[in-house]
C-alpha cells in the first residue's frame, strides 16, 4: 500500500473502539471457530466471497486486533481503516467487517465497566466488600464511573478514562482513580510513583492515581478504604469509626498457615463489626504484631463453625494487606495509644495514621 494513502485521512481503530469495554470468554471463542495459538485465539474467515478474508486475533490480555486481507494480492486492505476512504466499495467492505466483529462481540464477549483491567478488578472488589455498585453518571463519557456509598450516595472514588498527557508526558490513554485524602497527607502521596494532583476535582481533598499497573492493587484498595471512611465525616472521638483491631492467638489457631492457603478467612462475628469495616489482626507471641489487614465482605452470617454459644454468627474477611512483623510490633501500638490487645477494639487515630504510613 502506497504510504501516501495514509495521508488522505486519519486511521480508524475499528477493533479497539468496539471491544474497549468487553472481555472474551475462552469457551465461547472456541465454539465460534477461534483456534488457540499459544496464548492467543485466532479466527480466519471468508468475509466477501473470492474478494476478501478476515483475520481476528484475541491476545492473552483480551485485546482484539484484526485485518481484512485482499484475496488477490494477499495483503491487508488498508482503506477500510482510513476515515477519509468513504466510497461505496470501501464502505461496503468496512461495514461487512464491522458486522462480523459485532457478531463476535455478541457471541463471545461480556461487558465490563472500564477499559483497564485494574479498574474492573477494583469494581468487583468494592461490590463484594461493600455492596456498592458502579454508577455511570456521565452521559458523554460512559467509560468513566464513580463509587458511591449505598447509605449516603456520597462519592468516594471516580474512575476516569483520560489521555496520559493530562498528567504526564506520555502518549496513549489510561484509566485513573480519584480518591479522597486527608489534606495533610497530600504532599507525601505526591512523592510516590503513579500519584498526581487530582484531575478535574478539588486538589486539596482528592488525588489521582494511575490504574495502569504503576501502583499495586493492594495500595489502591487501601486508598479506597480510606476514601470511603472519609465520606463518613469527622468524628469527635480519638478513634477511626469502622476500623477494628482484633487479636489472634497462634497457639490456639494457625492463622499463619491459613493465610498461606487463602486470602479469605471465616471469623466469629464480633459485636459492632459490620460489612465494609476494616479489620487489622494482631497476632500474639512469638509475633506480637499486626500482620494482616482485612475488609469485612459479609457479616452476621449464621455460623458454619462451632465458635461456641456466644458466637452464633460469623463474618467473612478478605485480606487487603500483609505486614512484616517488624512494621507494626506491639511497641509501635503502645506509642499509638494501644496498651493491650485482649479483645476487639477500635483503632486509635494515631495507630490508623501509622498503619497507613506502613502501607506505603
123 with 200, same domain: the answer is yes
CATH number (domain holding residue 173): 3.90.1150.30
- For 281, the domain range is 239-359
User: What does the pLDDT read at residue 238?
Assistant: 41
pLDDT at 168: 92
Tens-digit pLDDT profile for residues 299-317: 888 888 888 878 889 999 9
DSSP H helical segments within 245-344, as ranges? 255-261, 330-335
In the chain, % of residues over pLDDT 90: 52
pLDDT of residue 68: 96
Same domain, 176 and 264: no
Q: What average pLDDT does this structure show over 269-286?
A: 90
Shared domain for 55 and 156, answered yes or no, is no
Indicate the angle between helix axes 117-130 and 217-230, nearest 10 degrees.
50
Whole-prediction pTM? 0.59
- Mean pLDDT for the stretch of residues 329-339: 89
How many Cβ atoms from other residues are within 10 Å of residue 263's Cβ?
12
| 215 and 127 together in one domain | yes
Domains: count for the chain:
3
Do 107 and 129 sit in the same domain of this protein?
no
Over the stretch 15-54, which tens digit does the pLDDT of each residue have? 988 998 899 999 999 999 999 999 899 999 999 999 999 9
* Whether residue 74 has pLDDT greater than 90: yes
The arithmetic mean of pLDDT across residues 205-217, rounded, is: 94
pLDDT of residue 12: 64
Task: Flag whether pLDDT at 356 surpasses 80.
Answer: yes
Residues 186 and 272 in one domain: no
At residue 61, the pLDDT reads 85
Check pLDDT > 60 for residue 241: no
pLDDT at 10 over 50: yes
Local confidence band at 360 (pLDDT 50, 70, 90 cut-offs) = low
Same domain, 204 and 290: no
**Nearest partner of 355 among 254, 287, 285, 278, judged by Cα:** 278
Q: Residue 99's pLDDT is what?
A: 96
For residue 209, give every residue at least 6 positions away whose Cβ sits within 8 Å of its Cβ, in sequence order, or none: 176, 177, 178, 179, 194, 195, 196, 215, 220, 223
Residue with cell 490513554: 173
Residue 237 binned pLDDT confidence (cut-offs 50, 70, 90): very low
Query: Looking at residue 233, what is its pLDDT?
Result: 54
Q: What is the CATH number of the domain that holds 299?
A: 3.10.590.10
> Where does a domain end: 161, 196, 230?
230
Residue 123: CB atoms within 10 Å: 20
Q: Same structural domain for residues 40 and 106?
A: yes
Could you tell me how many residues make up the chain?
A: 360
Let me know whether 250 and 269 are in one domain.
yes
Q: Which of 160-169, 192-201, 322-331, 334-343 has the weakest average pLDDT? A: 334-343
Mean pLDDT of 258-283: 90
Domain-ending residue, one of 111, 136, 171: 111
- Number of alpha helices (DSSP H) and beta strands (DSSP E) in the chain: 9, 17
Residue 111 CB neighbours (<10 A): 8
**In the predicted model, what is the mean pLDDT of the chain?**
87
Same domain, 62 and 140: no
Is residue 247 domain-shared with residue 352, that is, in the same domain? yes
pLDDT value for 64? 95
Grid cell at residue 112: 465490563
pLDDT category of residue 240 using cuts at 50, 70 and 90: very low
The confidence score (pLDDT) of residue 4 equals 39
pLDDT on residue 342? 84
Same domain, 259 and 207: no
Distance CA 357, CA 351 (A): 10
Q: Which of 230, 257, 286 is the last residue of a domain?
A: 230
Buried b (16+ CB within 10 A) or exposed e, 125-159: bbeebbebebeeeeeeeebbbbbbeeeeeebbbbb
The CA-atom distances, in angstroms, between 241 and each of 181, 236, 249, 251, 345 are: 16, 10, 25, 30, 11
Chain segment 118-132, per-residue pLDDT in tens = 999 999 888 877 778
Amino acid at each position: 500500500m502506497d504510504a501516501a494513502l495514509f495521508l488522505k485521512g486519519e486511521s480508524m481503530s475499528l477493533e479497539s473502539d468496539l471491544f474497549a469495554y468487553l472481555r472474551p470468554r475462552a469457551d465461547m471463542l472456541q465454539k465460534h471457530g477461534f483456534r488457540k495459538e499459544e496464548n492467543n485465539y485466532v479466527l480466519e474467515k471468508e468475509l466477501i466471497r473470492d474478494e476478501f478474508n478476515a483475520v481476528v486475533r484475541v491476545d492473552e490480555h483480551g485485546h482484539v486486533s484484526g485485518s481484512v486481507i485482499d484475496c488477490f494480492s494477499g495483503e491487508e486492505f488498508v482503506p477500510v481503516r482510513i476515515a477519509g476512504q468513504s466510497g461505496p466499495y470501501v464502505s461496503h467492505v468496512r461495514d461487512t467487517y464491522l458486522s462480523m466483529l459485532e457478531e463476535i462481540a455478541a457471541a463471545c464477549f461480556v461487558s465490563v465497566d472500564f477499559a483497564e483491567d485494574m479498574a474492573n478488578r477494583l469494581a468487583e472488589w468494592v461490590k463484594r466488600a461493600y455492596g456498592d455498585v458502579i454508577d455511570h453518571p456521565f452521559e458523554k463519557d460512559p467509560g468513566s464511573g464513580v463509587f458511591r456509598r449505598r447509605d449516603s450516595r456520597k462519592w468516594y472514588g471516580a474512575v476516569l478514562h483520560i489521555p496520559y498527557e493530562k498528567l504526564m508526558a506520555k502518549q496513549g490513554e489510561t484509566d485513573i482513580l480519584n480518591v479522597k485524602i486527608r489534606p495533610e497527607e497530600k504532599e507525601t502521596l505526591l512523592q510516590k510513583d503513579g500519584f498526581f494532583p487530582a484531575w478535574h476535582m478539588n486538589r486539596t481533598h482528592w488525588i489521582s492515581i494511575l490504574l495502569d499497573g504503576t501502583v499495586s492493587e493492594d495500595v489502591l484498595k487501601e486508598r479506597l478504604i480510606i476514601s470511603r471512611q472519609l465520606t463518613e465525616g469527622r468524628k469527635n472521638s480519638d478513634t477511626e469509626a469502622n476500623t477494628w483491631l482484633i487479636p489472634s492467638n497462634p497457639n490456639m489457631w494457625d492463622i499463619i498457615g491459613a493465610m498461606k492457603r487463602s486470602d479469605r478467612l471465616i471469623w466469629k462475628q464480633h459485636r459492632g463489626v459490620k460489612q465494609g469495616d476494616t479489620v487489622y489482626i494482631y497476632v500474639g507471641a512469638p509475633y506480637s504484631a499486626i500482620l494482616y489487614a482485612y475488609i469485612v465482605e459479609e457479616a452476621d452470617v449464621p455460623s458454619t463453625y462451632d465458635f461456641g454459644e456466644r458466637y452464633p454468627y460469623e463474618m467473612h474477611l478478605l485480606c487487603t494487606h500483609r505486614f512484616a512483623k517488624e512494621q507494626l510490633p506491639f511497641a509501635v501500638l503502645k506509642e499509638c495509644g494501644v496498651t493491650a490487645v485482649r479483645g476487639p477494639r477500635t483503632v486509635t487515630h494515631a495507630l490508623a495514621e501509622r498503619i497507613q504510613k506502613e502501607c506505603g
